[in-house]
Structure 1
Amino acid sequence: MLKQEGQAFVMFSTAHVVAIVGLGLMIVLLVVFKNKWTIQPRKMKRYERLFAVSLLGMDLAYYIWLFQSERWSLGNSLPLELCSISLVLTIVLLWTGNKHVYDFVFYAGIGGALQAIATPVLDISFPHFRYFHFFYTHAGIVLVALYFTWVKGYSPTFKGILKTMLALNVLLPIVFLINVLFDGNYMFLRSKPVNGSLLDFLGPYPWYIVSLEVVAFFIFVCLWLVFREKRSGVTY
């Protein structure tokens, strides 16, 4: 059994609430200043890539910590969680501006990261590095998706929902097979999180996986309805 390295994380503790409030304030600032970005496109691209490097660096540091603390294993340390995949694509989006990558980051990224921030699967709290890694990367996914929508003018589409659902359903059997091979539980395809999550309201195993598909589609549609009229945006 691994030795606890720091204070145990408690859901809705002060450290948790501060992280949620911090993300809320960042979103408010993004809303307030979304029409006041006057930096030259070339310089803006430099900042976007700098943030991409910071996300990548934070995640690489996390994997180094996993190795050093002897926590790394094939069963729980591969980047196969929904938010891990979204983080990789967020970095790609910041670097390339690809509109198809934007679809996944906007729908699956926002939906997954907000749920993760609300009910974190996290064992170590502030001021441990893992606490900062968890909330920095998850908040980064949400903020990048909103930045590309509000500032860059990308527009979520219903077609994007269908593409995201298709991508997720292509990923699911692959991740499930890896879970079986390495005794993992990536994307919670074999059991629910022990500390509680949205999945607790979606029925027993394996039916909560089917229920989650319906919930995901509903959340994606809600995101589309909320954001599709906000800007004229880029259509594709």
Structure 2
Amino acid sequence: MPKWFVGSSKEYNFEMYSNSHLIIIAILIQGAAGIYFFRNKIKWRTAEIGTAISLMVFEITYHFWMLINGIWETSSALPLELCNISLILSILLLLTRKKIIYEFLLFTALLGATQALITPILHYDFPHFRFFHFFYTHLMIIWVPLYFTWVHGYRPTIWSVVKLFVFLNVLMPFIMLINKLVGGNYMFLSHKPTTASLLDVLGPYPWYILSMEGLLITLSLLVWLIFREKGLKTLHVVRHHVNKRTFY
């Protein structure tokens, strides 16, 4: 088996903010800028479907990699983390272009995947397979909703925040049940991570879960404010056309 596909990270120890990590962050920014500045030229249906297929291939290969290296476990390998859910939503959005999927993904991607990419919990550096899997999937999770925002003109509404809150709170008891059955800690609903994190300032278990919900609502409202359809501008344009018609 090639070294870049083995389960050990001994020869590929990842360090946060190393050269390889900084390059990925630069690619994230450049990719987002490219989507924005070329938004009128990149509405490619073939690329959307191709990206969805590539994400599925990467994820299936990732699970195959865990299996052959003996590290696939129900307590950690099920697709129940927020970034796993965002990946599934990204694939569905690319294939279906459903607005309601975008409404969930915009928030989960920008609030979850962005943090995961900037402060990754990762042990494998370039050029290991896991390095490429982790960063490719997280980059796409972020770029896909930005693409649908700037290229297709999708926008969140205040009701999008409500839908996200309901969606995650309906999902939460099921994930808590699965955590109990398999001894997992998906979405950190069983306990805080063993390493230092933002959860350390949100109170003890289980109260930090409520703190996370409050933080989620606050940050989701911020994302909505940034990406919402500018209502006053739209209303001004409509009034301008109405007045122009009345005048003539």
Aligned-residue offset at 1:145 = 0.4
Cross-structure match for 2:142: 142
Cross-structure match for 2:116: 116
Residue 36 of structure 2 corresponds to residue 34 of structure 1 = no
Cross-structure match for 2:26: 21
Matched-pair contact (CA < 8 Å) for 2:156–2:229: no
1:175 corresponds to which letter in structure 2? I
Higher mean alpha-carbon deviation, 69-78 vs 183-192, is at 183-192
Aligned-residue offset at 1:13 = 2.1
Q: What is the percent sequence identity of the aligned residues?
A: 45
Aligned-residue offset at 1:5 = 5.0
TM-score normalised to structure 1 length? 0.90
| Unaligned residue ranges in structure 1 (runs of 5+) | none
Cross-structure match for 1:203: 203
User: Residues of 2 paired with 1:24 and 1:80: CA distance?
Assistant: 27
Aligned-residue offset at 1:4 = 3.5
Aligned-residue offset at 1:9 = 2.0
Matched-pair contact (CA < 8 Å) for 1:119–1:197: no
User: Residues of 1 paired with 2:20 and 2:203: CA distance?
Assistant: 30
Q: In the superposition, relative to structure 1, how do residues 91 and 230 fare at CA in structure 2: closer, same or farther (>3 Å)? A: farther
User: Residues of 2 paired with 1:4 and 1:116: CA distance?
Assistant: 19
Q: How does 1:20-99 map to 2 (within 5 A)?
A: 20-37=25-42, 44-99=44-99
User: Residues of 2 paired with 1:29 and 1:36: CA distance?
Assistant: 11
Higher mean alpha-carbon deviation, 62-71 vs 202-211, is at 202-211
Aligned-residue offset at 1:205 = 2.2
Corresponding pairs, count:
226
Aligned-residue offset at 1:127 = 1.5
Aligned-residue offset at 1:46 = 1.6
Residue 18 of structure 2 corresponds to residue 7 of structure 1 = no
Q: In the superposition, relative to structure 1, how do residues 99 and 138 fare at CA in structure 2: closer, same or farther (>3 Å)? A: same
The RMSD of aligned alpha carbons is 1.7
Deviations 1:118-162 (A, max 9, x none): 221212222211111111111101100000000011111110110
Cross-structure match for 2:157: 157
TM-score normalised to structure 2 length? 0.86
Q: What SS is found at the alignment partner of 1:193?
A: coil
User: Residues of 1 paired with 2:108 and 2:66: CA distance?
Assistant: 26
| Unaligned residue ranges in structure 2 (runs of 5+) | 1-6, 235-248
**Larger Rg, first or second structure (1 or 2):** 2
Deviations 1:167-208 (A, max 9, x none): 101111110110110000111112223343332332232222
